[in-house]
Amino acid sequence: MQALLAIPKIVVGGLVLVAIGTMLYGVFMRYIMLPITDWLDVDTVNFFWVEEVGETTLIWITLIGAAVGVAERSHFTLTILTHHLPTRAQHIIHVINNLLIAAFGGLIAWLGVKLALLNAMLTSPALEFSLAWLYASTVVGGILMTLYALDAARRPAGPDHQITDVRE
């Protein structure tokens, strides 16, 4: 499962760099180059695509990042009550919790497929790519979330969420 986790981490890291780079480019063009081109009375350079790239990368970062959060157990959990339960009950809750997360991931993947197919003929205004690519992020994120949650359900809780019997 670690190999399956390495690729999404690299993808998210690359997308973060793309988002930062395009946003910096947009700021540079808007606040430095635009006044210069106005002053020199020359044609302006188009940078209309910057916002669209930023929005698209943010969506992909969010959905793949949420799946990575499931794999690394970095989403917040409330364990005030469960730590007072017997070890067996804690384990059952751990499994049920991860199965619910897997079901949610499966649901958003399934709805993402429907949404991608429904909007496949539409194109983005600036870059003119099929919106199916945008909605494919939901499918990829949902599938990864499902796989990671099912893997977590079959394993005992890790050090972050150690199952302990407080009555010991």
Report pLDDT digits (tens) over 26-71: 999 989 888 888 888 888 777 889 999 999 999 999 999 999 999 9
pLDDT band at 153 (very low <50, low <70, confident <90, very high): very high
Question: Does 54 reside within a domain?
Answer: yes
138: in domain = yes
What's the number of domains the chain is made of?
1
Whether residue 146 is predicted with pLDDT greater than 80 in this model: the reply is: yes
The whole domain housing 14 covers 2-161
DSSP secondary structure, the chain, as one string: -HHHHHHHHHHHHHHHHHHHHHHHHHHHIIIIIHHHHHHHT-PPPP-TTHHHHHHHHHHHHHHHHHHHHHHTT-S----TTGGGS-HHHHHHHHHHHHHHHHHHHHHHHHHHHHHHHHTTT-B-TTT--BHHHHHHHHHHHHHHHHHHHHHHHHSPP-GGG----TT-
Is the model's pLDDT at 164 over the cut of 70? Answer: no
Domain membership of residue 166 (yes or no) is no
What share of the chain has pLDDT > 90, as a percent? 61
Residue 82 located in a structural domain: yes
Percentage of the chain surpassing pLDDT 70?
93
- Please indicate, yes or no, if residue 73 is contained in any of the structural domains: yes
**Residue 168 in this model has a pLDDT that exceeds 70:** no
Domain-located, residue 167: no
In a domain, 31, yes or no: yes
In this structure, what token pair is assigned to residue 98? 């991860």
pLDDT above 70: residue 10: yes
Average pLDDT, the chain: 88
Specify the pLDDT at position 165.
Answer: 46
The mean per-residue pLDDT over the stretch 103-114 comes to: 98
Using the predicted structure, report yes or no on whether residue 163 has a pLDDT greater than 60: no
Residue 137 has pLDDT above 90, yes or no: yes
Q: Is residue 168 part of a domain?
A: no
Residue with the bigger pLDDT between 47 and 166: it is 47
pTM, rounded to two decimals:
0.83
